[in-house]
A and B are shown apart, each in its own frame.
Chain A
Amino acid sequence: MTFKRVSQGETISSVDIQNNFEHIGTGHRSPMSGDTAMSDVNGAFNVGSLNYKWDKVFPGFLSIDKQLNSNTSRTVVRRYGSLAWSTNITFTALEQKAQYSGLRKTWNKIGEIVTTDGTKNTIGFTGLNGDVDIIYKLTMMVVTDTLTSHAIRFNDIAPTGTSSNMAIVASTSTIAMTNGSHHIFKGGDVINFLETPASTISTGWLDALIYAKTGTPRMVLSNAVEGMQGTATNTNAPISIRQHGGVWHNTKDTVTAIYITNRTGVLSKFFLTDSKFQLWARLG
């Protein structure tokens, strides 16, 4: 239904007036513009405003081009570099800041790193607040070609407190417990939550649940499939499946950073290209 502009000195019929109301009020409700035709325009106007909100919206389907957010966001710094495990993490370069908006009522991806070369053995997310976010989910797919194991490290320089961990590992012929002698590692490290074998190339997949709030020790619970090979010449089945639990015996320091690093102390053990790391949280 087209819109007819009402003009001085020009008669307008009742049909045109009726059409004008129908133009505005019936059918699909699209944003309109223009003094003469009130034609549909794309992306120029809002539904509601910061001061004047609709109470509820009842869509059967919601199509959103960009983002669904609650004006709640985190500025997370993605870091990556090449460090020896024994080295305190003191990145000064290779930082990328990104603001992630999201919803308070569901999981939001607040950080993602995809490696673009094979020269980094440590990646991390900083700008976190474990007391607000409380629980993080970490998903990672690591591509490697060297034998190594990986650690989660909380916070930056010289985290205080001890840590311990344990895993149940099922391989091709055995199910066994590892680290049963209860090792104490560098403060802030929860180690051996993903191990990768020596091979031409293989991948490891891991999902981790991280409890980060102060008041109790910080804990990591993870499941991993290790040593998957999927190339034409390397078709071995996964070498092991690992359930891992680790704890950082520190109840006070707020978690502000989470790093994933190899713990062998060998700088050449890198995450290869297309290793992918995602950090998820509910934005409280």
Chain B
Amino acid sequence: MSYNKFESGTAIDPYQINQNFHHVGVGDLLPRGGASLEPTDGVNDLGATATSYAVGHFRDVINESITSQIDSSRMWNFSNHFVLTATASSIEFSSTDWESGVTTDMEIYMAGQYRAGTAAHFGTFFVIDRSSTATYYNNNSYWSNTAGVQRWWTNTSGGVDGWVLGTPGVVIPETTTSFITKMNIRTYDGGAAAFRIQANWDMAIFQETGVINLNHGYGIKSGVGQVDYLKFVPTDGTFQPGTYVGIWRRR
């Protein structure tokens, strides 16, 4: 059903008027523009921030663009991921990697390989929040290795602006270790308890001749505002090519 443009000095008959109503109101609801109300692509919005529709009722919703996203506080939203293509002595992220302005919780998935430096051990990973005035509050872990050693390890010393992944003193007889971990981080000011960030994770470390399992819990004290920077820094050694980091968020 085509649209008949109203023009001064040009008669328009009732049929054409009906056509115009149908053009606008019947069939697929398409974004339109121009004097002939032709369909347009990707320009107009349906509703607005200040004047949103109450409920959208659909049978299917198709979201085709690879850059588009469904951003909902009710589900975990994938933000970004990276795979190292070269050896790296640290891995850094800024808020542009996870759109921190509306983020309340983060999940970080890491998997890859780490090569120790001079000491043949799995290096301690410090995760740093640059903007924070926080102090390293504590770090607790339970770990077990192939030699049958299980240990509870705790550290409440202050002064480090970050927290620890891995356990100091865990000696591994190989220089290259594979690891997988999932971290949960609260990214906003923790209120009265002054825990700006608190998190815990499960971790497994693997190598050709053994396996170590770890559980960690830790907290960072004080600080204002949201986390806008994270940095993973081993005490020695490097992350190897192929190491993966995926960032998820929930607002």
Interface set of A (CB-CB < 8 Å, partner B): 3, 5-8, 10, 12, 20, 23-25, 29, 31-35, 38, 43, 45-71, 103-107, 134-135, 164-168, 175-177, 179-182, 209, 211, 213, 215-217, 219-221, 223, 243-247, 249, 251, 282
B178 proximity list for chain A (CB < 8 A): 216-217, 219, 247
Q: Which residue of B lies closest to A61 (CB)?
A: B55
B88-123 CB contact bits vs A (8 Å, 1 = yes)? 000000000000000000000101110000000000
Judge whether A166 and B17 touch: CB under 8 Å. Answer: no
Looking at the complex, which one of B25, B78, B209 makes contact with A182 (CB distance below 8 Å)? B209
Which candidate, B153-161, B211-219, B223-231, is the interface stretch facing chain A?
B211-219
Contacts of B45 in A (CB 8 A): 54-58
Is the interface on chain B under 10, 10 to 19, 20 to 34, or 35 or more residues?
35 or more
CA–CA, A136 and B48, complex, Å: 36
User: B150 near A24 (CB under 8 angstroms)?
Assistant: no
Q: What is the chain B residue whose CB lies nearest that of A163?
A: B206
Q: Does B8 contact A (CB under 8 A)?
A: no
Q: Is the CB of B150 within 8 A of A216?
A: no
Residues of A within 8 A of B150 (CB): 168, 175-177
Given contacts A3-B21, A8-B14, A221 and B54 within 8 Å (CB-CB):
no
| Residue B7 is within 8 A (CB to CB) of chain A in the complex | no
**In the assembly, what is the distance between CA of A78 and CA of B169, in Å?**
45
Sample of 12 more A-B contacts, CB < 8 Å, known A62-B55, A180-B147, A219-B179: A6-B17, A25-B24, A51-B39, A52-B41, A53-B64, A56-B45, A59-B52, A61-B56, A105-B70, A106-B77, A135-B246, A213-B83
Residues of B within 8 A of A50 (CB): 62, 64
CA distance A216 to B15 in the complex (A): 69
Instruction: Give the docked Cα–Cα distance between A166 and B22 (Å).
Output: 68
Cα(A47)–Cα(B57), bound, Å: 10
- Shortest CB–CB separation between residue B121 and chain A, in angstroms? 18
In angstroms, Cα B203 to Cα A106, docked, is 23
Beta-carbon contact of B213 and A213 below 8 Å: no
Q: How far is the CB of B209 from chain A (nearest CB, A)?
A: 6
Contacting residue for A58 out of B49, B61, B113, B179, CB 8 A: B49
Contact check, A70 vs B18: say whether CB atoms are below 8 A apart: no
Out of A53, A58, A175, A282, name the residue touching B47 (CB < 8 Å): A58
Asked if residues A6 and B18 are in contact (CB atoms below 8 Å), the reply is yes
Residues of B close to A48: CB separation below 8 A: 28-31, 46
Q: Is B189 an interface residue (CB 8 A)?
A: no
Contacts of A106 in B (CB 8 A): 70, 75-78
Interfacial residues, chain B to chain A (CB-CB below 8 A): 13-15, 17-18, 21-22, 24-31, 39-49, 51-64, 66, 68-71, 75-78, 81, 83, 109, 111-113, 142, 144-148, 150, 178-182, 202-206, 208-213, 215, 240-244, 246
Q: Which 4 A-B pairs have the closest CB atoms?
A: A245-B204, A58-B47, A215-B242, A166-B211
Q: Which residues of B contact A243 (CB under 8 A)?
A: 202, 213, 215
Q: How distant is the Cα of A176 from the Cα of B202 in the complex, in angstroms?
A: 17
A48 to B62, CA, bound (A): 10
List of A residues within 8 angstroms of B26 by Cβ: 32-34, 38
CB nearest neighbor in B for A179: B211
Tell me, in angstroms, the Cα distance from A57 to B68 when the chains sit together. 12
- Whole-angstrom distance from the CB of B153 to the nearest CB of chain A? 14
Contacts of B81 in A (CB 8 A): 134
Are B78 and A105 in contact, with the CB atoms below 8 A? yes
Return the contact of A70 from the options B55, B64, B203, B212 (Cβ within 8 A): B64
Nearest to A282 among chain B residues (CB) is: B78
Contacts of A47 in B (CB 8 A): 28-29, 46, 58
- Verify B212–A71 contact, CB threshold 8 A: no
Contacts of A176 on B, CB cut-off 8 Å?
150
The smallest C-beta distance from B159 to any residue of chain A, in angstroms, reads: 31
The answer to whether A54 and B66 touch (CB under 8 A), given A67-B60, A182-B211, is no
List of A residues within 8 angstroms of B68 by Cβ: 70
Task: Please name all residues of chain A whose beta carbon is closer than 8 Å to the beta carbon of B62 when the two chains form the complex.
Answer: 50, 69-71
Considering only CB atoms, which chain B residue lies closest to A135 in the complex? B109
Is B41 in contact with A221, judged by CB distance below 8 angstroms?
Answer: no
A43–B28 alpha-carbon span in the complex (Å): 10
Q: B53's closest neighbor in chain A, by CB?
A: A59
Task: List, in ascending order, chain B residues with CB within 8 A of A181's CB.
Answer: 146
Q: Cα distance A58–B42 when bound, in Å?
A: 14
Whether the Cβ atoms of B28 and A167 lie closer than 8 Å is no
